[in-house]
Amino acid sequence: MRIVIPDDYQDCVRHLDAFAKLKGHDVAIFTDTVTGVDALAARFAGAQALVLIRERTVITPALLERLPTLKIISQTGKVANHLKLADCTARGVAVAEGSGGPTATAELTWALVLAAMRHVPQEVARLKSGLWQHTIGRQLKARRLGVWSYGKIGKIVAGYGRAFGMQVWVWGRDGSIAAAKADGFAAAPSREAFFAESDVVSLHVRLNAETRGLVRADDLARMKADALIVNTSRAELIEAGALVNALKAGKPGFAAVDVYESEPVLGASHPLLALPNAVCTPHLGYVEQGNYELYFGDAFDNILAFAAGQPRNIANPEVLKP
């Protein structure tokens, strides 16, 4: 099969152990990003299979119309807002989903919490420039950690907070709060209290039409002047422009983010990168060796099964009907 893998930013896919599964197939890997139907159609010309790295590549109906040979899109992880199953089904393209683990993102979340609370990036940069101590950090013990959504990742982050001696409470839908209570965590009495009384707020909500802009400017304005908000989920969970404005106003005092509205962010073009009270990483949450082996191993297995006439993990099974 002709298999195309776009947006491999680090040129790491060919070095994974899982890549050996594609031996004998015609595989093209692209390490840069292009946008627009014409550019993507040229890049994907002749492809029978695409392997998409999460939501990095947007698949539109107009693009699908330009890809007559495409038979399967093998998704690393689950399908999100970068494509619609109905569009793929209409063009006769199967979409296979894979699995992924929550641990890598949860660990990065906690790394950002520690880095922001102790001003690690700023102090490292100053030391390398020949300077010495400049800031006073804050310990986590006895402070309040607010976790919005107690799913797979939120559950791990809440456990980290407990291990660090923090007072952990949870906010979210009824089912999320019930699951947290069953594990011995408290529920915030209200949305207002969740933001106003948490020293650290960490977002772990899935992005969809209902949750876009979920965190509003007035939520951020309620936070303490020395509080931290962490977002390793999706940038669009926060109302457009609200986080930058809030950090400039000083409430909350700090942010740590791993996600942006448009990625990749090149040329330091995002306004958060200009703020001294923001710690920013380039969407590293799920980018981890073991996680990649799992993601791509599943994606490649799904393609091989499809090619062998034994499709599996197809998210739009109706496309397989005669």
Residue 234 a catalytic site member:
yes
Which residues are bridge partners to 4 per DSSP? 28, 50
CA angle 25, 29, 35 (to 5 degrees): 130
Integer-rounded Cα radius of gyration of the chain: 21
Distance between first and last Cα of the chain:
22
Contact yes or no for 277/253 (Cβ under 8 A): yes
Scanning the structure block, which residue is given the tokens 């890997």? 29
Catalytic residue among 107, 263, 288, 293: 263
Beta strands in 62-134 (DSSP E): 72-75, 94-96
Residue 65 a catalytic site member:
no
Which residues are bridge partners to 269 per DSSP? none
Going by their DSSP bridges, the two strands 49-52 and 2-5 should be labelled as parallel
Catalytic residue among 144, 222, 234, 270: 234
Q: How far is CA 247 from CA 60, 109, 123, 229, in A?
A: 35, 19, 20, 10
Q: Report the distance separating Cα 24 and Cα 224, nearest Å.
A: 58
Q: Report the distance separating Cα 236 and Cα 243, nearest Å.
A: 11
CA 204 to chain centre: 10
Q: How far is CA 150 from CA 20, 91, 174, in A?
A: 37, 37, 10
Beta strands in 89-143 (DSSP E): 94-96
Q: Report the distance separating Cα 161 and Cα 184, nearest Å.
A: 13
Residue 210 a catalytic site member:
no
Q: Report the distance separating Cα 247 and Cα 238, nearest Å.
A: 13
Catalytic residue among 283, 288, 312, 318: 283
List residues with catalytic annotation.
234, 263, 283
